[in-house]
Chain A
């Protein structure tokens, strides 16, 4: 069974950092591009970042460029999102998703940026 499990969310102060993880199972992780998508409370889905299958290419939404870094460890079947200089507007549920297929999604991990 294909499964994505996000973790690492929590409460952080403005300006702080957090690293999210996405543990993948049930498929050949190293063959897929991966994405992070976020959803602020009561708002719509917003694409955040993507990484290619071997980690050599990344891209970011303008709103997080220079602050967030996507990476992956294919040996551990895990995707990461390092989030620095966090702002209140980064408060959201963060989902990871499998590129090309976009199913299934994990249940997400909530990040709350507040003092």
Chain B
């Protein structure tokens, strides 16, 4: 089975750059997506195809990929970016989410 590993938490001060990593063998051959989820709300797609940003997502959100690791970067993190972030990828008949990273901005 495939697994995606994320740090459980990341903390930054407002205006700093936050980086959240996601590692897994499947990422060497398949794209990743990133989802943001705020308390009590449904997830929202913030990055697809490793680094593409959907319309309406602020430019401070970016993604990158290197080997078996993808990284979500939030440049100049805002208080409103505080949320849980999940990576996701798919291969064959398997779809998998990372365990999630709680981003604290304070």
Contact = CB atoms under 8 A, between A and B. Distances in A.
Interface residues of B, number: 21
Contacts, number: 44
Contact of A105 (B33, B43, B99, B100): B43
A108 B37 CA distance: 13
Given A44-B98, A103-B54, 5 more contacts: A44-B97, A44-B100, A47-B88, A95-B42, A102-B88
Given A104-B42, A105-B44, A47 B97 contact: yes
A62 interface: yes
Contact of B48 (A35, A50, A102, A108): A102
Nearest to A6: B42
Interface residues of A, number: 18
Contacts of B33: 102
B1 interface: yes
25 contacts: A35-B95, A44-B84, A44-B97, A44-B100, A45-B37, A45-B43, A45-B88, A45-B97, A45-B100, A46-B97, A47-B96, A47-B97, A59-B94, A59-B95, A62-B1, A102-B35, A102-B45, A103-B44, A103-B45, A103-B54, A104-B42, A104-B44, A105-B42, A105-B44, A108-B42
Interface of A: 35, 37, 44-47, 50, 59, 62, 95, 101-108
Chain A interface mostly helix, strand, loop or mixed?
Answer: loop
A47 B95 contact: yes
Contact of B86 (A45, A95, A107): A45
B95 A50 contact: yes
Interface of B: 1, 33, 35, 37, 42-45, 48, 54, 84, 86, 88, 93-100
B32 to A, nearest CB: 12
Given A59-B93, A102-B33, A102-B48, A44 B86 contact: yes
A101 B54 CA distance: 10
B9 to A, nearest CB: 13
Nearest to A44: B100
